[in-house]
Structure 1
Amino acid sequence: MERRDSQLTRIDEAEEAMEMLDLSKAEEILNSLREEDPICIPVLNLLAHLHGRYLSDYQKAVGYYNQVLELEPENAWARDERRKFRRYSTY
């Protein structure tokens, strides 16, 4: 339980860093979390969001959303966001 609480706290820190546009800090936290748990869906979703919305790396965002959908095929939000960033990457 303690590990999970720590993970949630760090996810919150990453989200706050994104909101404050401290993108390198957000990415550092999320990459660290991903190393600890490579199939954590919230972390993968946030990495996709970071790369798609803030860094304009649409292909990387699509890659993270693909990972989410491999783990959770019914995730409609990830599917919709992936579709959006696929379109952006063709412009």
Structure 2
Amino acid sequence: MSDCYWDADLERPLRTREGGRLRTLRDAYEFVGTRSACPGHPLVKTTLGALATAARSGAPLDLRRALERTVRLMRANHWGWG
């Protein structure tokens, strides 16, 4: 399997607190990876894992799961809104 879907669009763009927009799996992965103060936290690890899985598979269910996990993490940390 290759990571060929990193540039796949999210179902909807996610707004960050600063006014930016996360539009692709890559945007979301980089945002979460650089924003998290505790990269080993289970919620961060599962979110990054879901984004990586979606990038590998490109499957609609994986893309949706990655979006949902990213939104949940962003809301929990007040980083933005879905």
TM-score by length of 1: 0.34
Higher relative contact order (CA 8 A, sep 6+): 2
TM-score by length of 2: 0.37
Greater share of residues in helix: 1
| Higher-Rg member (1/2) | 1
Greater share of residues in strand: 2
